[in-house]
Chains A and B, each alone.
Chain A
Amino acid sequence: MALESKLKDNSTRMNKLYRFGMGLDMKNNSDGLVSRLFGNLVSSMRKFLFRILSVGPIPNHLAFILDGNRRYAKKWNLQEETGYKCGFWALMPMLKYCYELGVTYVTIYAFSIDNFKRGPKEVQCLMGLMQEKIEGLLEEESIVHQFGVRVHFIGNLKLLPESVKVGAEKVMKATANNNKKVLLICVAYTSTDEIVHAAQESCQRKWDEIREMKPGGGAHSFEISNESQEEEERRFIKLVDLEQCIYMGVAPDPDILFRTAGETRLSNFLLWQTPTCLLYSPGVLFPEIGLRHLVWAVLNFQRAYSYVEKKKKQL
């Protein structure tokens, strides 16, 4: 009974904090005026800080590996599901900070194809949570409406349960006309799967092009360019063909890749897109991530900016 009560208290506290962080519930709060004033003060200080940061270059695209939710739950003797919820509650303010700062694209690694290896109960719990939160994106007070965010779900969506897939497609359709900010949610995603899919897709397109050019002809005939046969064979697929078919082709390469919980590995996330990306791996668990981590990462990005831009041009 004591544990249940503690869990409920924690859950309620988390929920309150989330809503406070998002500027919600001000009207209904019994201390509405004080909360509102305090919230406005904090918000103004934050915006002032972002103005100072904006003197230097601001990253255009941030990517997050949301690691540490289960460890957070274990640390505070919570259920794993609560750990994931805490991760989500920490994510929303972080998205808000990113968009307020001027970041246009934010990518999050919500669920890897490798995560299907976890226990069925955990996977089911995660899918349930994902469905709930996906539906929440269309609510009036969500960050999507607040910042005009277009949402993309990136990954092999065929692997998802039908209800989650339908929800994701609904959100993508509903936000298709938003053009201020972009949120890319990687689900049922791994980078190696993405690359293989891009290779398949680009080959299929080339194959279809060839068949269209010579509908009655042999499968091997194609228009010979001025290049030699050998060169042409070498370039059946070009870099541009691959990049057109890659899932993440809707966004530029990320500038900073965050991975929380102190792990320094990519875990098959955005391998193609991060050749020059700054990797930042604070020891904090994802539900504990805060504004200071974002600020610190941006400062380091600004420090290395000219070097990275030079490298990007060489690519």
Chain B
Amino acid sequence: MLSLPFSCPPPKNTLSPFQKKPFSPSSSSVTCDRAIGKRNKSNSYLSISLPKLSKVLVSEASNAMPGDEEKEISAGTMDSPEEVELPAGLRRELMPNHVAVIMDGNRRWALERGLPVEQGHRAGGQAMTELTRLCSKWGVKVLTVFAFSTENWIRPKEEVDFLMMLFEEVTKTFSEEGARLNFRLSVIGDKSKLPKSLNQILARAEQALKANSGLHAVIALNYSGRYDILQVCQKVANHVKDGLIQPEDITQSMFEEQLETTGTKYPNPDLLIRTSGEHRISNFMLWQLAYTELYFVEKMFPDFGETDLIEALSSFQQRQRRYGGYKYSTSTN
């Protein structure tokens, strides 16, 4: 068992279900086996240690019980992001422009509590609503959520039907509140397989909120990263077939213009959050995640609340993004 003689701490196991590192109030687990957090010029590798957050509000999502009504998005005029005070430890200039979330763990959350799977999805919907509100409040410009993957069709029909119905409900609520909260809405994915009623509701919501200038919420429905790349390849191939371009004219920027995410001002996420402890991308936005900072949380998505989002953003703000170069920079895209 040879390795270089310089001592280093034993690897931290964040994938083990037995080892949890206590954090601020919510006792969430360490995100991944990293020894950063207080990266400094001397490169001392301390375990993750986020600054104490004096203004943390404990999330209500983990206390959601069946039968609770959906949390209402707070009424009243939203303050502009510049006016809202950020939680302690977060810096406005280092906020990510685009946050993406893989909302994993709804079913496991429900099964752990002996609840029907549908309740897990409803709780996930509530958590998503809260997440959208917080991102908007703190100046995130684009929020993409992975609501339904191309692989999810394999789930039981009852669950899929329920999810489609839930998406319709959430979209209607979003549409009603969106005008007041200045949200925009886009949907990415292969909509041809979605129910007609859902497509109609989504189209109406997109149209109604098109002129808004606040947070741009992007819902990935029947989406996969490979599907996105393949559809771009097929589009550019058709241009070649039609004689509009030559194969050697295909460039990366041409590709990026054709991706499903091209409609947003910041198409590539700065930060990806994945809940439920799985450390994988699961076929989500493969091209767009080339330089995205990944953040993994052990909690199931319905339990992901304000505290957890603050921790994720704080972790992001401490990272140094080099894009393969040498110059250290903490700025976002």
Task: Identify the A interface with B (CB < 8 A).
Answer: 13-14, 17, 20-21, 42, 45-46, 71, 74-76, 86, 89-90, 93, 112-115, 117-119, 122, 190-193, 195-196, 198-204, 206-207, 210, 219-220, 222, 233-237, 239, 242, 262-268, 271-272, 274-285, 287-293, 296, 300, 303-304, 308, 311, 314-315
Contact = CB atoms under 8 A, between A and B. Distances in A.
Contacts of A93: 2-3
B250 A199 contact: yes
A168 B202 CA distance: 52
A303 B280 contact: no
Contact of B295 (A122, A198, A264, A280): A264
A46 B321 CA distance: 37
Interface in B224-242: 224-226, 229-230, 232-234, 236-238, 240-242
A284 B11 contact: yes
Interface residues of B, number: 66
B242 A220 contact: yes
B75 interface: no
A14 B5 CA distance: 9
A280 B241 contact: no
Given A90-B4, A263-B34, 11 more contacts: A195-B233, A203-B247, A204-B247, A206-B241, A237-B233, A264-B31, A276-B283, A284-B8, A292-B1, A300-B15, A315-B283
Contacts of B266: none
Could you say which of B233, B252, B293, B295 has the most chain A C-beta atoms within 10 Å of its C-beta? B233
B280 A277 contact: yes
B240 A293 contact: no
Contact of A193 (B248, B252, B292, B296): B252
A74 B41 CA distance: 9
Contacts of B31: 264
A265 B291 contact: yes
Contact of A275 (B225, B238, B279, B294): B225
A268 B290 contact: yes
Contacts, number: 222
Interface string B1-27: 111111011111101000000000000
Nearest to A271: B286
Interface stretch (B87-95, B122-130, B323-331): B323-331
> Main secondary structure on chain A at its contact with chain B?
helix
Given A17-B2, A46-B1, A284-B8, A264 B294 contact: yes
A204 B248 CA distance: 8
Interface of B: 1-6, 8-13, 15, 31-36, 43, 45, 151, 154, 224-226, 229-230, 232-234, 236-238, 240-243, 247-248, 250-252, 255, 278-283, 286-287, 289-296, 319, 321, 323-326
Nearest to B149: A314
6 contacts: A220-B241, A239-B230, A267-B323, A279-B32, A281-B279, A288-B3
Nearest to B39: A262
Contact of B281 (A200, A279, A300, A314): A279
B33 A112 contact: no
A262 B283 contact: no
A266 B292 contact: yes
A308 B280 CA distance: 10
Contacts of A86: 4
A58 to B, nearest CB: 18
B6 to A, nearest CB: 6
A114 B250 CA distance: 19
Contacts of A239: 226, 230
B286 A234 contact: no
Given A112-B324, A196-B251, A303 B15 contact: yes
A252 B126 CA distance: 39
